[in-house]
């Protein structure tokens, strides 16, 4: 992934709180969080939205990709 930051909004009382996280982290919903550029790259490369570049399904119920987690390009 990249070093871009993605803003997510979390309900807080009657309002929302903005939380900033890095692209590639797990979102507040438990799914992978991607910036717009990385989403576009995945679509262009033919990957599903929640598939890593190694072809692993990265949904919460999906597999763990050691190559992505430990930085193996």
Q: What is the pLDDT of residues 20-71, one digit of tens each?
A: 988 888 888 777 888 888 877 766 655 566 667 666 666 655 566 777 766 6
Q: Where do the domains of the chain lie?
A: 5-69
Q: How is residue 69 annotated by DSSP? A: H
Question: For residues 8 and 60, which has the higher predicted lDDT (pLDDT)?
Answer: 8
Tell me: pLDDT of 16 over 80.
yes
Q: How far apart are CA 73 and CA 54, in angstroms?
A: 9
- The CA dihedral of 61, 65, 68, 73, to the nearest 10 degrees, is -150
pLDDT at site 17: 92
């Amino acid at each position: 992934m990249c070093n871009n930051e993605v803003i997510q909004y979390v309900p807080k009382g009657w309002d929302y709180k903005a939380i900033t996280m890095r692209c590639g982290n797990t979102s507040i919903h438990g799914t992978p969080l991607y910036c717009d550029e990385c989403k576009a790259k995945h679509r262009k490369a033919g990957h599903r939205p929640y598939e890593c570049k190694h072809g692993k399904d990265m949904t919460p119920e999906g597999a763990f990709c050691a190559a992505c987690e430990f930085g193996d390009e």
